[in-house]
Amino acid sequence: MDCSACGRHNETAAVFCIYCGFRLETVNQAKPFQPALGKTIDLRRESGPAVQSIPAMPKLEPVVPPVAAAQPIAPVARPSKQTNDGLMLIGIVLLALVFFSNIAIPTWAVIMMAIGVLSLRNSRQTAVWMIGIPILVITNWWWAIVFLIMFSNDKSKGCGMKHSYKH
């Protein structure tokens, strides 16, 4: 069946043209009008106005719900820093003992551990990494860092690798 608007060919069962969207003339739509064969009743209205007017509705103002008064947000209770301050003091004492002892520890490791101890006040996770990495390297457990990095990835589940298989 061809579309009368764009002239393209469509399937015979199509109601609308798939190219332009125009309603297609089908064989079923082109039925000729057949008058009723029996008695009929005239349903036309008696003489009167052709269109009845509907009374206009009064224009209503939109209803806006009342806005609740903004209440201040309660400050979130921060964890006590006494625990971190105590850990920081212990870390400084241990760092001083290591630094002034006869144990051969590289300077970079001492500096990195000192940064870790000083960062303990802000972030415990940073402190663990800054203190833990030098300890792992000094004790020749440096290969364990690879596993720590793999398993400490918060963005993925499973073994911590980006492309872990999940079934």
The number of domains in the chain is: 2
* Domain presence at residue 71: no
CA distance 138 to 103: 11
Strand partners, 16: 23
> Which tokens is 56 given?
């206009």
* Domain presence at residue 117: yes
* Domain presence at residue 167: no
pLDDT of residue 129: 78
4 secondary structure, DSSP code: T
* Domain presence at residue 140: yes
* Domain presence at residue 44: no
Range of the domain at 103: 82-151
13-48 per-position pLDDT tens digit: 888 888 898 888 765 555 566 666 777 777 776 655
Are 160 and 151 in contact by the 8 Å Cβ rule? The answer is yes
86-105 per-position pLDDT tens digit: 767 777 777 777 777 777 77
Nearest CA to 26 among 48, 10, 43? Answer: 10
